[in-house]
Structure 1
Amino acid sequence: MLRRLALSASVSLLALAAAPAATAQADPLLPLPRLIAAPDRLHVTVTGADGGLDGDYTLNCNPAGGTHPNAEGACDKLAAMELERGVSPFEDTRKERAQQRAGKAPMCTMQYGGPAKAHIKGVWHSKRVDVTYDRGNGCSISRWNEMVPVIPAIGRS
């Protein structure tokens, strides 16, 4: 539901932004096919998670599908994260980038969440994605948990 709402809002805003260019053409709907995003395709690999959570999945969004066990939920999560953060769910937020530029490393608890790793590679909104998640400290665990159900929930951390 959120994914559809976000997509509708995005297409509407893009159509309004393109309106001056469209009025110069005979058919004002001509630019719309270029505004509709191509399907998103991600490859998710999870290792070291145990408990049957390891796997190699494809996740397609717009429309949701692939071999991912919860494709609809994963696509909705990514769309909601993007809407909330204002950037791709795979990019750092403006606040995180500013902290990195200032040389301020986040304070992370010395907590080990296990050997699980997740690698997500593919295309999201026509941009290449190649990102890895682990559970090596408190910040990494939070980053992992933020991506559930795209990657599996592991215990209580």
Structure 2
Amino acid sequence: MMRRLALTAVVSLAALSAAAPLATAAAGPLPLPLPLPVLQGEDSSTHLTVVVSGSGNPEADGTYELECDPAGGSHPVARQACDRLAQLPGESADPFAPVARDAMCTQQFGGPATARITGTWQGRSIDSSFDRSNGCEIGRWNSLRPVLPNVR
């Protein structure tokens, strides 16, 4: 009795396995999904608030608004800052990501300047802090010039 039950199960499984590809072939290939349109407008816009302090330059310290496409806001060099932001997607590293905890950084001090950038960059939410406490942080700051001011 057990043999007959097992044999029936194996034969049924084999029959179903053979029938599934035939049913699929008769129905034709599955349709490909339609591509979604790239979102335009607000979702791809850039609006950032840049807060700089401790730069040693009273003209560089402060809070600035930066809008791109078209360039505007209270940022002192909005057009150049927007041009730099437009270059960033083609570069390998995320300029807004913090330095990795295990990064090997030179122990040099670039000054007490700090900055915080918040807002939206190409539709992506940004909230990043910057300082010049070591070689990695200085490099990260410099990669965003002129969004962040040139400090000595």
Alpha-carbon deviation of 1:120? 0.3
Alpha-carbon deviation of 1:37? 3.9
Q: Does 1:70 align with 2:77?
A: yes
CA shift in 2, pair 1:107/1:89, >3 Å: closer
Q: Does 1:60 align with 2:62?
A: no
Q: Does 1:144 align with 2:125?
A: no
Alpha-carbon deviation of 1:21? 4.7
Q: Does 1:135 align with 2:136?
A: no
- Please give the TM-score of this superposition, normalised by the length of structure 2: 0.68
Q: How many matched pairs? A: 117
**Secondary structure of residue in 1 paired with 2:91:** helix
Q: Matched residues, percent identical?
A: 44
Alpha-carbon deviation of 1:82? 1.4
Alpha-carbon deviation of 1:67? 0.3
1:1-157 pair list within 5 angstroms: 20-21=34-35, 31=37, 35-38=39-42, 39-52=45-58, 53-85=60-92, 89-91=95-97, 105-155=102-152
CA contact (8 A) 2:47 2:119 kept: yes
**Secondary structure of residue in 2 paired with 1:143:** helix
CA contact (8 A) 2:117 2:126 kept: yes
**Secondary structure of residue in 2 paired with 1:35:** coil
CA shift in 2, pair 1:109/1:89, >3 Å: closer
Question: Where do 5+ consecutive residues of structure 2 fail to align?
Answer: 1-33
Q: Which amino acid aligns with 1:60?
A: E
CA shift in 2, pair 1:110/1:63, >3 Å: same
Aligned-pair Cα RMSD in Å: 2.3
Q: Which amino acid aligns with 2:49?
A: H
- Please tell me whether Structure 1 or Structure 2 has the larger radius of gyration of its CA atoms: 2
- Please give the TM-score of this superposition, normalised by the length of structure 1: 0.66
In structure 1, distance between residues paired with 2:50 and 2:76: 11
Q: Which amino acid aligns with 2:56?
A: D
Q: Which amino acid aligns with 1:46?
A: V
